[in-house]
A and B are shown apart, each in its own frame.
Chain A
């Protein structure tokens, strides 16, 4: 079982705001990283650390954290945001990595 827990599915109306959460005790010590994956493609780094986005990732993606929960917020969701989202962090030892189970985002 994963040390990081995500809701399997979330939906959002076009243009609205959605929050995808990731829970795990390791998040009390380490920041979460978020990846977006579309069918048949490799994951893409979306956001990491304290709201750091790679070049090309729109600023409608943001993160926050509280205690053992990290959250990815998409403000003004677009059709292109429909995808699976995975959180990732270091494990309890700090030496290894772990992924959440993923959240399928549907944009209605």
Chain B
């Protein structure tokens, strides 16, 4: 079955960077786009961007451009999200999600368990 397993919780200081990983199994990693979504405490879901593992092409929401990098290592079926210049507003749970369409159109049919990231001085 499709499974996305994310890396563990992170605690960072303001100004630092964080990298979250998402390891895929149960399907051909390079066939499906992966999206990154975050959720601040008590808030809604915020879409961050997508990556196409086959090519490495990625696209991010305007609000994150310049601060987010999405990469992948196809040898280990793992995608990465790196977010720089962290502030307390980046405190959130970060999710990866598989796009079942074969494109970036959605829907997101499988989700990782989430990685809590806390930013505090």
Interface residues of A (CB under 8 A from B): 2, 33, 35, 37, 42-45, 48-49, 54, 84, 86, 88-90, 95-102
| Given known A-B contacts A101-B44, A102-B44, A54 and B109 have beta carbons under 8 A apart | yes
A97 touches B111 (CB 8 A): no
Say yes or no: B109 contacts A97, CB within 8 Å. Answer: no
Chain B binding surface SS class: strand
What chain B residues lie within 8 Å of A35 (beta carbons)? 45, 108
Indicate if the CB atoms of B106 and A33 lie closer than 8 Å.
yes
B108 & A45 in contact (Cβ 8 Å cutoff): yes
A39 to B47, CA, bound (A): 19
Q: Separation in Å of the A104 CB from the closest CB of chain B?
A: 10
A42 and B106 contact, CB distance less than 8 A: no
Q: Are B109's CB and A99's CB within 8 A?
A: no
A99 to B113: give the CA distance in the assembly, Å. 19
Chain B contributes a number of interface residues (CB within 8 A of A) equal to 21
The distance from the CB of B115 to the nearest CB of chain A, in whole angstroms, is 11
User: Which 10 residue pairs spanning A and B have beta carbons closest together?
Assistant: A48-B107, A42-B111, A102-B44, A33-B107, A99-B45, A97-B47, A101-B44, A45-B109, A86-B45, A33-B106
On B, residues with C-beta under 8 Å from A are 35, 37, 44-47, 50, 59, 61, 95, 97, 104-109, 111-114
Residue in A33, A43, A96, A98 whose beta carbon sits within 8 Å of that of B59 in the complex: A96
When A96-B59, A97-B35, A97-B50 are in contact, do A43 and B105 touch as well, CB less than 8 Å?
A: no
Which one of B61, B107, B108, B109 contacts A96 once the chains associate, using CB atoms below 8 Å?
Answer: B61
Judge whether B59 and A99 touch: CB under 8 Å: no
Nearest-neighbour CB distance to chain B for A70, whole angstroms, equals: 13
Query: If A98-B47, A102-B45 touch, does A42 touch B109 (CB 8 Å cutoff)?
Result: no
